[in-house]
Chain A
């Protein structure tokens, strides 16, 4: 038996609603995935033992690692304020010797 126009219109409306929900879901899922990826790339999601995610201290920008402000003192190895000065002979005046140990 052919469906009545009323039944067909109701089916079309139902399909429309489902399509809108599916689109909204896809957009929402995409947003969540993008957020997680962005956070992971900047190291802002910190893995904790119980599997929860939370923020603690300053997070290293390239690792799943939390590093506190006191331990991360800059973005480069820091040079000495001045180059070492040439010293003359006289080993007895040396304070110490640096070499492998």
Chain B
């Protein structure tokens, strides 16, 4: 395997990792990644009062002018909703708040979750209106968008492409375990560990050469409220955390966005997820709460870390 250059830094409430196949190219690659991530954060964060998304949510029921990046991000989120039959729905913002996830997760952990509100189904992605010509968005009154299932992955895709162009080399970008690669891969591909958390031990290692890889897990971002343990992946149809059929799902796809959408939808979809993934030809690894592994569409058997 080629010598790789690797930099880690805090980003988007998690850890970013930038890896280049050319050791001398890591600095311009990191600068490009930081620029892209900062732009996504300004546009799409639910936890910054000055973000475009926060203004849209605060102005629910009214048209709110937004920048081009949030227009793109919301378009990506609506496409995700359409392609998953609503399993991944950006209108779960109010449901997350109702479940106590009302601030940056570090604040939820340090200060405790917010008060549990009435848990209701998400109003539904079909009620989101986007006016591209007028650069404005309207969400149903009393609702809010959350782009957690797509914005970080979109940032990874955009950052990897921009960094590879800028540094003129192969680049891997990981934002909290949502990975995108661009440009020529190192010999043998990019070796990626797969685990329940992106900072814990890996259970397996696989190599990818193009596209994206993402993992959704119910073992992280968990909290207790009213003596009930909750996690962050909400079933839009109920507004409550999805029933845990899979503790962790990892998917590779042509982009990190598609990988993450498929992984999150699989958590929500539950027992029908393997057949759905196989039908789409998406390579996937699903882990049950007891640790049993289901491999789909050619995910390598028995690869070990």
Contacts and interface: CB of A to CB of B under 8 A. Distances in A.
A binds B: yes
Interface of A: 46-49, 54, 56-57, 60, 62-68, 70-73, 75-91, 93-101
Contacts of A49: 63, 131, 134, 136, 138
Contacts of B220: 99-101
26 contacts: A60-B78, A60-B82, A63-B126, A63-B128, A65-B78, A65-B129, A67-B130, A68-B71, A71-B78, A77-B262, A79-B282, A81-B209, A81-B211, A83-B300, A85-B300, A89-B205, A91-B193, A91-B202, A94-B191, A94-B205, A95-B174, A96-B179, A97-B192, A98-B193, A100-B177, A100-B215
B75 A67 contact: yes
A62 B126 contact: yes
Contacts of A63: 78, 82, 125-126, 128
Given A49-B131, A83-B300, A96 B283 contact: no
A65 B71 CA distance: 12
Contacts of A88: 205, 304
Contacts, number: 231
A100 B298 contact: no
Nearest to B211: A80
Interface string B102-129: 0000000000000000000000011111
B274 to A, nearest CB: 15
B132 A77 contact: no
A71 B75 contact: yes
A51 to B, nearest CB: 12
A32 to B, nearest CB: 24
Contacts of B143: none
A101 B177 contact: yes
Contacts of B98: none
Contacts of A46: 131
Interface of B: 1, 4, 6, 14-15, 17, 19, 63, 71-72, 75-76, 78-79, 82-83, 125-134, 136, 138, 172, 174-179, 188-200, 202, 205-221, 248, 250, 252-255, 258-259, 261-262, 280-283, 297-305
B196 A76 contact: no
Nearest to A85: B207
Contacts of B138: 49
A100 B248 contact: yes
B126 A91 contact: no
A100 B76 contact: no
Contacts of A60: 78-79, 82
Given A67-B79, A99-B177, A78 B300 contact: no
A80 to B, nearest CB: 4
A95 B283 CA distance: 20
Contacts of A47: 129
Contact of B192 (A57, A78, A94): A94
The 10 A-B pairs at the shortest CB distance, nearest first, are namely A100-B217, A71-B75, A101-B176, A78-B254, A100-B220, A83-B298, A84-B206, A97-B193, A86-B300, A56-B133
B200 A99 contact: yes
A23 B291 CA distance: 70
Contacts of A77: 83, 253, 258, 261-262, 280, 282
Nearest to A77: B258
